[in-house]
Amino acid sequence: MGKPTGIVDHLLTWKELENAVRDGSDEALGNLGRFQEHVNVYHSFRSQVLADYESMADYVKIFKLGYVPEISESGKRRASSSSKFCEDEVIWMGNDFPYAVEPGIVHDLIWCRKKLSLEQLQQVCQQRLSGREYLIFVNPEGLKSIPDVWHAHVLHREKQRM
């Protein structure tokens, strides 16, 4: 597949997603991605956020994890150390910039103020996704778009009949 770019030229199939998640390497997970036009939209959004926020992590902490915003010395918003959510609370949301996947596959994110174990992630998914099959992964450090905020990717679809 070559060097990962995060840009794809086709809708990813469930089999491709399964293989990448099973492999778990930087290269395999790096080959999951978005169409170029969606990457461009993300970069534009990121630029707009960074005009008002200290970092993408501050934006996510404020809007996804309920941290109280404050104004930094530079006049930009940043997340204070306090949050309305407790440390163990799990926040499940659709991915604002999902991977290019075939119809019927959903790309969600699990956010938490602390790192969750695979067992904890499995439990959350089993409770939330009854009757669906799913894949869970956390990007390796080199692939994380927001490394300062822990989150996991969940790809799911209706269970397929054999």
Please check whether residue 1 lies inside any domain of the structure. no
Closest by CA position to 76, among listed 95, 98, 57, 97? 57
The tens digit of pLDDT for each residue in 121-131 reads 999 999 999 98
Type and span of the H or E element at 156 = strand 151-158
Please check whether residue 88 lies inside any domain of the structure. yes
Please check whether residue 53 lies inside any domain of the structure. yes
Q: Are 157 and 132 in contact (CB under 8 A)?
A: yes
Q: What angle do CA 86, 90, 93 make, to 5 degrees?
A: 130
What is the extent of the structural domain holding 44?
A: 14-158
Please check whether residue 35 lies inside any domain of the structure. yes
Please check whether residue 100 lies inside any domain of the structure. yes
Residue 79 has pLDDT above 50, yes or no: yes
Rounded CA-CA distance 122/154 in Å is 10
Please check whether residue 153 lies inside any domain of the structure. yes
Please check whether residue 56 lies inside any domain of the structure. yes
Band the pLDDT of 40: cuts 50, 70, 90: very high
Please check whether residue 4 lies inside any domain of the structure. no
Collapsing DSSP to helix, strand or coil, 144 comes out as coil
Residue 3 has pLDDT above 60, yes or no: no
Q: Looking at the 3D structure of the chain, how many domains does it have?
A: 1
